Structure 1
């Protein structure tokens, strides 16, 4: 590797992107194309970055399998940042295998981080933990350790383990400081914000207030009976009854939880569960059937007893009932929640993350765009969606690994 490429690689590794580009901007050889692609990605020009990395992968010869694998890992990270969740995960896994076989443990570790981050986005926590458990972070350099701890924190946050998340973020903060790369420090600070912003709303006995993530964790461990409108479940510290596929039952459970310890009239329950204005005899008959089903689902946690005017929720044991609701509730709120992460999403990626049909997601995006709550750019497969209130900023890509001179 010539001295100019070595110098450019060192500048790229320390975050001096423009300095790196100045040294290779006019070169068309494979290493220079790869370095330019990585630099352009970190500057936020993901479209140009993808083109350069594909050119680099083709330019590397068949005997340069490790270099080609590194290009694939960089492409995978661009796909992740641009929320192209349909990018072939098997291709990334194959590239990681090549890197491991050639002893490039740093880029192999980074490839594993990308795999785990994708699994986090689509909610496959068990598989993400399994992959991460196969990686030992001890010998990794500071940038790679930062990436590792951010992934650990992400899993802990999803599992409502705020103590573990804070510990991981502190380790990530120390590693980012040791690396001396401002973009890494900014990413850690952004992750900290998740613990500092409201994660849910508590509704109980006429009270309504916002909760931080650690307060949600404490509530779920408190022994209270929680009607969880974030996950469509009824739960206590030891038992969870999912009603995610039973929307009518959950609507009834939430209405009863919000009125506890009082009851809810039959007319109000019909309007809440069936969206009917008036409760006629057919509605009342259906309500009795659905209440019976709800009583069966919640038999280990609570009883649904009939009152003079309607029904009331009575928890097993002496404990209170609370409702845990999302911080903001509106139509298409789940789509907005994903768009609020600051990245640009394709409609197909949102469909994968939400577990919904692409057509359903597209209708939601069109409605949000008409209301001025979402905006798109690009056309066709390159079309991306984001929230208009978030300022544009270049996405931070963590691309650890040995210098091209390796």
Structure 2
């Protein structure tokens, strides 16, 4: 490569996209196109960046597989940054194999990081961990080490392993300082704030208080019977009963837990669990059936006893009862959590990340837009959605995914 290409590449590696563009902005050869695309991606113009990287890949041609593979990795990173989660992951796997075969271990490791990052975004934590666990035959540059440690911390936070997350963030901070890239250091700093901002709200004996991630981890490891409204489950130490597919049962459990040690009138349970204001004998019969199902689901964790006025939750043994919920509760909270990461999302990417149909996601987005909580730009396939982050609270995206039923 000539000196201008080398200088532009070094500028990009140091986080200086404008310096790189000053050297290659007027050139249309394949290496210059690739560097221009990466620079535009760093500046946030993802559409132009994607077009430039694809032009570079075509310009390199089939006789330069290594350069084409690097372009594919760059395009994959642009797709992740623009939340195009439907981008073909097999292309990245093929590029990674090509990089390995040609001895480019560093870029192969970066392709591995991008693959794990995509898996984390769509909630496939086990696969992301397995991808990161693969060994690297060569030492990684500080910037890639920092990015990898951020990913390790993200997985640990989602799994509520705060000590592992803190250690990974400390390593990420050290690597980012060594790299000397301001944007990377800012990303590590923002990730560290998650551990020091409220992540959940605890409701127990009629009182409420905010919890940090450490407090949430300690609570779920204790003997307290926790009605977890974030994952729609009932937990006590190592025992977990998922009610994710039984919304009525979960609503009954939550209402009973919030009133504990008092009981809840039957009329209140019918009105809030069944969403009706006019109860009749059929509703009261259904309530008895649903309470019986809840009693069976809870098993040895707790009992649901009938009282003169209604029903009461009675924990087994000497357990306390608490409700764990999001710090700010509102409809479509999971979707707002994804949107509040500061990036622009398409409805198809949100559907993939949430495991919902695209039509369901679109209806929810329209509802949030009507309430002024999200806004969109672009049209058709280019339409993207954004929102503002809720100040002072970590997003629910960083909390564990719902438990399997």
Offset, 1:93: 1.3
Alignment of 1:2-401 (within 5 A): 2-136=2-136, 139-388=139-388
CA distance, structure 2, for counterparts of residue 390 and residue 31 of structure 1: 41
Is this contact kept in 1: 2:341–2:389, CA < 8 A? no
Closer/same/farther in 2, CA of residues 350 and 42 from structure 1, 3 Å limit: same
Offset, 1:341: 0.9
Runs (4+) off by over 2 Å:
135-138, 388-391
Closer/same/farther in 2, CA of residues 103 and 138 from structure 1, 3 Å limit: closer
CA distance, structure 1, for counterparts of residue 241 and residue 332 of structure 2: 24
CA distance, structure 2, for counterparts of residue 278 and residue 197 of structure 1: 42
Is this contact kept in 2: 1:267–1:278, CA < 8 A? no
Per-residue CA deviations over 1:24-78 (Å, capped at 9, x if unaligned) read 1111111100000001100111111001001001111212111111111111111
CA distance, structure 2, for counterparts of residue 190 and residue 96 of structure 1: 30
CA distance, structure 1, for counterparts of residue 152 and residue 191 of structure 2: 11
Offset, 1:228: 0.3
Per-residue CA deviations over 1:194-218 (Å, capped at 9, x if unaligned) read 1122111101101111111111111
CA distance, structure 2, for counterparts of residue 203 and residue 59 of structure 1: 61
Identify the range of structure 1 (7-16 vs 132-141) with the bigger mean alpha-carbon deviation: 132-141
Offset, 1:137: 8.6
CA distance, structure 2, for counterparts of residue 61 and residue 8 of structure 1: 22
Per-residue CA deviations over 1:221-241 (Å, capped at 9, x if unaligned) read 121000000000000111111
Offset, 1:278: 2.9
Secondary structure in structure 2 of the residue aligned to 1:87: coil
CA distance, structure 2, for counterparts of residue 333 and residue 152 of structure 1: 25
Unaligned runs of 5+ in 1: 392-406
Offset, 1:136: 3.6
Per-residue CA deviations over 1:133-170 (Å, capped at 9, x if unaligned) read 11349711101110110011011000000111011000
Per-residue CA deviations over 1:342-400 (Å, capped at 9, x if unaligned) read 11100011111111111111111111111111000111111100015699xxxxxxxxx
CA distance, structure 2, for counterparts of residue 46 and residue 196 of structure 1: 32
Unaligned runs of 5+ in 2: 392-405
Closer/same/farther in 2, CA of residues 170 and 182 from structure 1, 3 Å limit: same
CA distance, structure 2, for counterparts of residue 381 and residue 122 of structure 1: 20
Per-residue CA deviations over 1:83-123 (Å, capped at 9, x if unaligned) read 11111111111111111111111111111111111111111
Secondary structure in structure 2 of the residue aligned to 1:209: strand
TM-score of the aligned structures, taking structure 1 as reference length: 0.94
Secondary structure in structure 2 of the residue aligned to 1:201: strand
CA distance, structure 2, for counterparts of residue 285 and residue 137 of structure 1: 66
Q: Work out the number of aligned pairs and report it.
A: 391
CA distance, structure 2, for counterparts of residue 185 and residue 137 of structure 1: 26
Q: CA RMSD in A?
A: 1.4
Match of 2:400 in 1: none
CA distance, structure 2, for counterparts of residue 310 and residue 290 of structure 1: 13
